[in-house]
Amino acid sequence: MSTSPPAAAVHDAVEAIYRTESRRVFATLIRLLGDFDLAEEALHEAFASAVKQWPTEGLPANPRAWLVSAGRFKAIDAIRRRARFDASLGELADRNDTVVGPAELAEEAGVEDDRLRLIFTCCHPALPPEAQTALTLREVCGLTTEEIASAFLVPPSTLAQRIVRAKSKIRAAKIPYQIPSREDLPDRLEVVLQVIYLVFNEGYAASSGASVTRADLSGEAIRLGRLLVELLPEPESLGLLALMLLHESRRAARADASGELILLDAQDRALWDQSLIAEGKQLVERALASQEVGPYTLQAAISGIHADAREAAATDWPQIVAIYDALLRAVPTPVVELNRAVAVAMRDGPAAGLDLVDAILTRGELADYHLAHSVRADFCRRLGRSDDARKAYEQALALTRQEPERRFLERRLEGIEPRRHGGHDEMPAPEGQSVVARGASPWRWRK
């Protein structure tokens, strides 16, 4: 006589399956039901049924397929109950009330396609950028509304409204739940990559708040990047994942024990994660081998050069400048120019970098970007132009919202002395990270 597994063991199994499979099940339920809210409700009903039935029936051979099947039929029952008040729901139930085996509902390749469909739906260009980000984190990653609101420093009610409006837009505009055609893929993929990197950037270098980094957000972005490479290994998908991994490898060295910011040149490179560096460099090589080199791949190549340098002084700045030249041709924005100016200063000295930064600011660009003023201040400090350095640091301080950056700038401001510096002392060297901005500029410089 067979015996049922202990209830505690089944409960642990359900929790483990929820962590690993719930977003896959959810993506398939959206395809089957055609509605985010119905799919969310069906997902929870399916796991509730699993908690009740699996202790006596045992774990199914294919838990994911069982959950998809259970969720689908729970949703059909709920739709039929509501159809008394809305005839269109009855039609939806009829369309879904076809006998289909669990294996057919959650066939492996189909499930993976469902996840990719969900990413492209959440990042559809008809949705506002802030809604794309919120919806992706909520529906693809499974973060709660409160977690997303906390990460982006908006009230939960505001974030919830964004998600509700995005879902309403998808329904009203009949946005298709599908992978774009080959002709539409480049433009659509760019939006997806931007959303993923926006999430990563907020985790790697928070725009404001008390901490330099948010490991949870950058971790979610890397998870999305891995999924995208697994499902759609386009060259720029590889480049983006490489760039995130190479930057993530430096996380442990970017702040000291008290949370104070440490610039790239001063970081303890023994703390850099060599496994992430190796994986990132391998991805860069794959992307470069495609001969379809885009902005993310170029930035990842710059990060790879930093990773190759055993110490800051060994960095190959001429090669970095050359790659920035290519990046500026691909993405001709003032923030990329700022990145390049810092690299030029590392190669040719602060006076050369200052000329380039002043040219950007003279055009009226980046006037509200604190890092432009911070870079200018450092050039002036190193050239012994103390008054100019002090003024630029004060401008940067007035614009920055991140507390560790504020304290760093305050220390620099307090330490200004009327003397000339030479060499490469504590230069705020770029890491090749020109990232998606929250404001008008499409690329953003980060330490």
| 365-415 per-position pLDDT tens digit | 999 889 999 999 999 999 999 999 999 999 999 988 778 888 989 999 988
Contact between 361 and 367 under an 8 Å Cβ cutoff? The reply is yes
Name 108's Cβ contacts closer than 8 Å, sequence gap at least 6: none
Per-residue model confidence as pLDDT tens digits over 274-309: 999 999 999 999 999 998 899 999 999 999 999 999
Contact between 288 and 299 under an 8 Å Cβ cutoff? The reply is no
Distance CA 299, CA 293 (A): 10
pLDDT band at 189 (very low <50, low <70, confident <90, very high): confident
Contact between 375 and 390 under an 8 Å Cβ cutoff? The reply is no
At residue 5, the pLDDT reads 61
At residue 174, the pLDDT reads 87
Distance CA 254, CA 311 (A): 15
- Average pLDDT rounded to a whole number, residues 29-33: 89
Tokens of 358: 């002043």
At residue 210, the pLDDT reads 55
pLDDT band at 149 (very low <50, low <70, confident <90, very high): confident
Domains and CATH numbers, the chain: 7-106 (1.10.1740)
Q: Is the pLDDT of residue 209 over 60?
A: no
Per-residue model confidence as pLDDT tens digits over 40-59: 999 999 999 999 999 988 88
Least confident of 172-186, 244-258, 420-434: 420-434
Report which of 39, 104, 96, 35 is spatially closest to residue 66, judged by C-alpha positions. Answer: 104
At residue 111, the pLDDT reads 44
pLDDT band at 208 (very low <50, low <70, confident <90, very high): low
CA dihedral 160, 164, 170, 171 (to 10 degrees): 160
Give whole-number Cα distances, 93 to 25, 65, 74, 78, 90, in Å: 19, 20, 11, 9, 5
Q: Is the pLDDT of residue 98 over 80?
A: no
Q: Is the pLDDT of residue 325 over 80?
A: yes
- Average pLDDT rounded to a whole number, residues 61-72: 92
pLDDT mean across residues, the chain: 82
At residue 112, the pLDDT reads 56
- Residues 14-29: b if buried by 16+ CB within 10 A, e if exposed: beebbeebbbbbbbbb
CA dihedral 183, 184, 186, 192 (to 10 degrees): -150
